[in-house]
Structure 1
């Protein structure tokens, strides 16, 4: 099972490295294909503008059949982020209906999801929190009842996060700069294959032999 996960993640990491998702920077932690460091660029014209928040994506050995976890590496005051930094978002909940929360299977994880769809969902949630069942109750209440205090806490964290900005990362100041546009290269028949080629696997420290 881990061989499938390794091949899937290597393929997706290569794609995101070649064609980055706007607002994110990804790299492997300790060359471990199951653990990615994600740099989240605060969207312009929001209270997160100018920030660069580091988070960790940890993938299970049975990925993509079960979702990864997404955890901020430092304090991130948000209704949908637990105090330990773990993000609470439907797309990262295990597959299937959940009668307790009322979430339907189509709202939760399924194996057709990708790291790119996770990242796009995260950036959408950051500035548009779901306060109906907050992971951080204090943040949820403050967001609804005292937005000025909420914004003040977030802006302080934005300033703290700027020390994480790598030299090679340009922080956009306009929506046009943030919405990075790219043209995907014409795909060859080999590119359409779901799995990585052997040489791609070796570049990520993945054993090309199946388990």
Structure 2
């Protein structure tokens, strides 16, 4: 039986990422025998509240990829309006540069972002510090 197209595409994309790394991002397999389960590390971008953080997430690609999107779940604690408290990412925001507080996955974070920005910043800073401690 031949290998599914999605598997071939994911192998190609992972090899490309490893050959030409993206700044602040790295990816690898959770299990070397399963191309559909990736672990990624996202370093908080400069000039953002998340700067200096090390945020680990898991990507689970469906066999129908790229026709169906992957599921993404942060395993590092992160405070963000579009990321559920359990780490699940609202897939529709994966290409948005900023939090979308109009359709939040984490209602408390979105409310805080709008109404108590200093408290929001404090919680993000706490997540960044914790991510740095967990990484060492």
- TM-score of the superposed pair, with normalisation by structure 2: 0.90
**Could you tell me whether the CA contact under 8 Å between 2:79 and 2:123 is conserved in 1?**
yes
The answer for the alignment partner of 1:141 in structure 2 is 111
The answer for the alignment partner of 1:59 in structure 2 is 61
- CA deviation vs aligned residue, 1:39-63 (integer Å, no higher than 9, x gap): 0001112211111100001001111
Aligned structure 1 segments of 4 or more residues deviating by more than 4 angstroms:
none
The whole-number CA distance in structure 1 between the counterparts of 2:39 and 2:91 is 18
Higher-Rg structure is 1
- Choose which of 39, 43, 50 in structure 2 pairs with 1:41: 43
- TM-score of the superposed pair, with normalisation by structure 1: 0.60
The whole-number CA distance in structure 1 between the counterparts of 2:3 and 2:119 is 45
- CA deviation vs aligned residue, 1:30-86 (integer Å, no higher than 9, x gap): 112101100000111221111110000100111111110111003211110111111
**Could you tell me whether the CA contact under 8 Å between 1:54 and 1:164 is conserved in 2?**
no
The answer for the alignment partner of 1:187 in structure 2 is none
The whole-number CA distance in structure 2 between the counterparts of 1:146 and 1:2 is 51
The whole-number CA distance in structure 1 between the counterparts of 2:79 and 2:104 is 12
The answer for the alignment partner of 1:87 in structure 2 is 89
The whole-number CA distance in structure 1 between the counterparts of 2:114 and 2:55 is 23
Unmatched 5+ residue regions in structure 1?
Answer: 92-117, 167-211
How many aligned residue pairs are there?
134
- Residue 35 of structure 2: SS of its match in structure 1? strand
**Could you tell me whether the CA contact under 8 Å between 1:72 and 1:86 is conserved in 2?**
yes
Q: CA RMSD in A?
A: 1.8
**Could you tell me whether the CA contact under 8 Å between 1:37 and 1:57 is conserved in 2?**
yes
The answer for the alignment partner of 1:27 in structure 2 is 28
- Residue 7 of structure 2: SS of its match in structure 1? helix
Unmatched 5+ residue regions in structure 2?
Answer: none
- In the TM superposition, what is the alpha-carbon distance from 1:2 to its structure 2 partner? 6.3
- Greater strand percent: which structure? 2
